Structure 1
Amino acid sequence: MNRETLTRIIEDLTEGLTPTLTAEDFPCFSAEATEGNERISPDYLDIVAASLNKADIATFERAARAMDEGELAWLGFKVVYDPAEAVANTDNEVTKKYGDVGSADGDPLVFFCNDAKQCVASREWSPRDFFQMKDVTRGPSMHNEQFEGLTWTSVPLFDSVRVWLLGASDASSEVAALAAHVGFDVCVVDYDPAYVSESRFPDARRIVLSGGNFDELGAVKADSSDYVCVLTRGHMFDPEGCIWALENNVHYVGMMGCAGKNSRVYELVREAGMADEQWDRVKRPIGLKFGAKTPAELAIAIVAELVDVRYQQRYSEEARAKHEASLGRS
């Protein structure tokens, strides 16, 4: 989400103009995101734009403030394809009771919602609407296709977490695909262009080091909020990967490998000047444990752990406490 886009929309609405909304600004409406979904398309943004007026300024202003303050928040959209059905449908025997009406009305709606479940919109919503609006915090919504006549989508107002994959191994290729699919910004680093290819890493930024080794890795910089997965081919450059991650003080670093190999990596890391407390920050072996063996299975274990770390990093103390309790870790 671009902060300048919100400013432009606010200015247009203030002047009584219909703003221009594009799929580039709101990728949840892109052709790629809506492919195969007959209920929503990029053209619907024109309908959304035509429905906006000065009453919606507060929604976009709240979204802009969330971006300025680094808040975990979303800008959501109610997409109506059958107005009468959107209002008329009611809960069934399985769903929790949210009242005797469906949506509050049959019109599209732009709304703001954050991790604290605070919602802002230009019109009153029904209990059913609120239930589905809150679900955008589960990215973009868990029950968007639950009721007839309408659907829901959203865009995050925060940046994706960057994941560095050090090494273009087969496991790394599998991790890249899964990590991108669940919303991470993926960057893979290796020295061999035959492995760091677009066909192996179509959804990742690719960095090719020269010299046939990882000596140039130090020239690459990571942020303290980044995650690092040390997955070098044959584990040959795992020490360099761990040292780089620790020197950049990234939020998370994990390394794949058995205890014997990791002991040798430890010796090399210590020889390079790393302290034991730094080494203890390396999750080893990387990934959740459930018996994964193949590259694809290992990728599931690794990305599952990345999702868990991201949840704990991003969400409020209250949300984290509920998360930990639900996993039996409180």
Structure 2
Amino acid sequence: MVTAEFLRSLAADVAAGRPVELSFDDFPCFAAKALEGRAHVTPAALAEISAGLTPADACVFERAAKAIDEGDLAWIGFKYVYDASAACENVDNEVTKKYGDVGSGCGDSFVFFCNDAKEIVCGREHSPRDIFQMKDATRGPAMHAEQFDGLTWLAVALFDKVRVWLLGASDASAEVAALAHHVGFDVVAVDYDPAYISEERFPNARRVLLGGGNFDELSRIAANPSDYACVLTRGHMFDPEACVWSIRNNLHYIGMMGCKGKNDTVHDLVLSKGGTEEGWERIKRPIGLKFGAKTPAELAIAIVAELVDERYKQNYSEAARAKHDSNLGR
């Protein structure tokens, strides 16, 4: 993730009119992999935006640095114009909310800041339509990035991804890893068997291979209280060890797959291995939202849906969630 120190240095260079070159490491939304399927933007767009920065843009990087210092839910976003005439001339149609008689406020690409409170910082001319689309960056982005002709929108988060520990390399775990990565979690998969915790099965996860043919070495690994854990060991063989580790690390969310009869057995084993009754009650059993999922792929949808819901509740206040649900008619 981009650092506050780097952003302040960048702001100073931009304010002084010194040339800067933004990198894919700091702004990965422009990397080739992130742009797969986006017809109107290529990695070369980042160089174009770098070359077009002016002292007016320094305020964006300064505000972004402050947001990182404060632990704010915030984003640096980019408006990328590939057809200036179309960007300025397109108008709202009968379906969309009306944002005035003009499209984009200018035919230039630019950088902007937005946070979850919908604060916008932008040093360039922009229209009401632009403001609507800049605020849309808070969706991660963005539901409406490709809505209007001539321009598109990209963004990078200024906060860390939530880390999810997949304890066990079962088939369900492999399916969860793919979906969890796709919706923006930092995924770590753990198992003792290299045949199961392979790169082929977990291509987008950090893989931790335990020694000894069991989960005993799991106790040597540290996790953060803000992390999530999904207990998905193959055949439930090492669910007790995974639960005890999750409880001892006081993880924010712990979920375990399994039926009531198996869970009663795991309960007794968890307590015998040093877990507490209070910790056991914190474990979501069974893991995942309930909608009839049976296969590993279906179970992964149920599990990741629950992870998304938990992340949403963790990141947003009750008042913000109520407003969001009201806007959606829920």
Into which bin does the TM-score normalised by the smaller protein fall? over 0.9
SS in structure 1 at match of 2:61: helix
- TM-score normalized with structure 2 length: 0.96
- The Cα shift of 1:276 comes to 2.2
CA distance in 2, matches of 1:327, 1:299: 25
Q: 1:126-205 counterparts in 2 under 5 A?
A: 126-205=127-206
The residue that corresponds to 1:60 in the other structure is 61
Deviations for 1:3-42, whole angstroms, at most 9, x for unmatched residues?
A: 1431331121133112111222211000111123231111
- The Cα shift of 1:299 comes to 0.3
Deviations for 1:159-187, whole angstroms, at most 9, x for unmatched residues?
A: 11100000000000000000001110100
Q: Which runs of 5+ in 1 are unaligned?
A: none
- The alignment's C-alpha RMSD in Å is 1.5
The residue that corresponds to 1:301 in the other structure is 302
- The Cα shift of 1:62 comes to 0.4
- The Cα shift of 1:272 comes to 2.7
The total of aligned residue pairs comes to: 329
CA distance in 1, matches of 2:125, 2:317: 27
SS in structure 2 at match of 1:32: coil
CA distance in 2, matches of 1:149, 1:324: 32
CA distance in 2, matches of 1:234, 1:325: 42
SS in structure 2 at match of 1:68: helix
- The Cα shift of 1:326 comes to 7.0
Aligned partner of 2:24: which letter? A
- The Cα shift of 1:113 comes to 0.3
Q: 1:249-288 counterparts in 2 under 5 A?
A: 249-288=250-289
SS in structure 1 at match of 2:33: helix
CA distance in 1, matches of 2:327, 2:81: 34
Aligned partner of 1:162: which letter? R
SS in structure 2 at match of 1:218: helix
Matched, 1:2 2:2: yes
CA distance in 2, matches of 1:13, 1:103: 24
CA distance in 1, matches of 2:16, 2:126: 26
Q: 1:325 to 1:37 in 2, by over 3 A?
A: closer
Residues 114 and 134, structure 2, Cα contact 8 Å, conserved in 1: yes
- The Cα shift of 1:319 comes to 1.8
Residues 188 and 205, structure 1, Cα contact 8 Å, conserved in 2: yes
The residue that corresponds to 2:83 in the other structure is 82
CA distance in 1, matches of 2:326, 2:309: 13
The residue that corresponds to 1:35 in the other structure is 36
CA distance in 2, matches of 1:264, 1:203: 33
SS in structure 1 at match of 2:154: strand
The residue that corresponds to 1:25 in the other structure is 26
Residues 5 and 25, structure 1, Cα contact 8 Å, conserved in 2: no
Aligned partner of 2:103: which letter? G
Residues 118 and 135, structure 2, Cα contact 8 Å, conserved in 1: yes
- The Cα shift of 1:107 comes to 0.6
Q: 1:156 to 1:57 in 2, by over 3 A?
A: same
- The Cα shift of 1:56 comes to 1.0
Aligned partner of 2:316: which letter? Y
CA distance in 2, matches of 1:14, 1:315: 34
Q: Which runs of 5+ in 2 are unaligned?
A: none
Aligned partner of 1:231: which letter? L
Matched, 1:245 2:246: yes
- TM-score normalized with structure 1 length: 0.96
Residues 72 and 315, structure 1, Cα contact 8 Å, conserved in 2: no
Aligned-residue identity in percent: 66
- The Cα shift of 1:273 comes to 3.6
Aligned partner of 1:188: which letter? A
Deviations for 1:117-163, whole angstroms, at most 9, x for unmatched residues?
A: 10100024211111111111111111010000111010000111100
